[in-house]
Amino acid sequence: MKGSFSFIVRDENLDFDDISEKLSIAATSIIKKGQYIRKGGETQAPYDIWRLEVTISEQTEPEDALEYLLNKLSPNFEKINELIGVYKEVIINCYLRSDYGQMGFKLSNEMMKKIALLGVELDIHILSFGGVEN
């Protein structure tokens, strides 16, 4: 299983520096509205996006990646709550990809409490490439 957890702030017009300063965290990526976001230059970003991403890999379990992200964000829960009041979307996205159909991860009580404290939604996106034969 591969993928990522991303804390995302999205809106028509973001103040990227203000977000980074408020959270005392540098974004792993910034996308500006109108910027081409797909290879070949066919799709443009409809919004500005400030993203803090933690990768899930063969060496990093989903639970570990989410725990790392939540620990990084939790000290700033009040600032994140402020961002929720200002911007269109403040969310944690989970993207899971697998060559096989079966996958999953566990959300501990502590993780759920941290997500609730942050006041953000958790969206989970799962993509399987259907490699299971039986």
Where residue 119 falls (left for φ over 0; alpha for ψ -120 to 50; beta otherwise) is left
pLDDT at 130 over 70: no
Global confidence as pTM:
0.89
Distance CA 51, CA 55 (A): 12
* Least confident interval from 34-38, 58-62, 98-102: 98-102
* Least confident interval from 39-48, 74-83, 112-121: 39-48
Going from N- to C-terminal start, the domains of the chain cover 2-128
- Which pLDDT value is given to residue 128? 78
pLDDT, one tens digit per residue, over 83-104 is 999 999 999 999 998 877 677 8
Residue of higher predicted confidence among 130 and 104: 104
Exposure string of 110-119, with b = 16+ CB inside 10 Å and e = fewer, is ebeebbeebe
Residue of higher predicted confidence among 67 and 37: 67
